[in-house]
Amino acid sequence: MGITIHYRGKAKSLQAIDSLIETLECLAKESRWEYWLIDETVRGKFIPSWGIGYGYIPSQEQIKREGIEFFPKMVSPECNGYFQIHDTEYAKEARRSLRKGIPPVFPVETKRKGICLNLHSRCETLEFTFDLGTLELAHYETREHSPGVIYGYNGFFCKTEYAGFEIHRMVCKIIKMAERYIDFSDICDEAGFYHSRDEEGARRAFGDSAVTIERLGSQLKKAAHKLGFTVIIGGKR
Sheet containing 138-141: order of strands: 126-131, 106-118, 34-48, 149-154, 138-141
Q: Which of 55-69, 75-89, 165-179 has the lowest mean pLDDT?
A: 75-89
Pair 169, 3: CB distance under 8 Å: no
CA dist., res. 168 & res. 194, Å (int): 9
- Given this model, what pLDDT does residue 220 score? 44
Rounded percentage of the chain residues whose pLDDT exceeds 90 = 61
- Given this model, what pLDDT does residue 109 score? 92
Q: What is the pLDDT of residues 23-81, one digit of tens each?
A: 999 999 999 999 999 999 999 998 877 666 788 889 999 999 989 999 999 999 888 99
167 vs 208, higher pLDDT: 167
CA dist., res. 223 & res. 82, Å (int): 33
- Given this model, what pLDDT does residue 209 score? 53
For residue 41, list its beta bridge partners: 111
Provide the whole-model pTM. 0.75
Whether pLDDT at 211 is above 80: no
What is the secondary structure of the chain as a DSSP string?
---EEEEEEEES-HHHHHHHHHHHHHHHHHHT-EEEEEEEEEEEEEEE-TT---SS---HHHHHHHT-EE-GGG-BTTB-SEE---SSTTHHHHHHHHHHT----EEEEEEEEEEEEE--TTSPPEEEEEETTT-BBEEEE--TTSTTEEEEEESEEEE-GGG-HHHHHHHHHHHHHHTTTEEEEEEEETTSHHHH--HHHHHHHHHHHHHHHHHHHHHHHHHHHHHT----BTTB-
Q: Which of 19-33, 62-76, 149-163, 168-182 has the lowest mean pLDDT?
A: 149-163
Whether pLDDT at 1 is above 90: no
Rounded percentage of the chain residues whose pLDDT exceeds 70 = 86
CA dist., res. 211 & res. 125, Å (int): 24
Radius of gyration for the alpha carbons in the chain, expressed in angstroms and rounded: 20
- Given this model, what pLDDT does residue 214 score? 52
- Given this model, what pLDDT does residue 60 score? 94
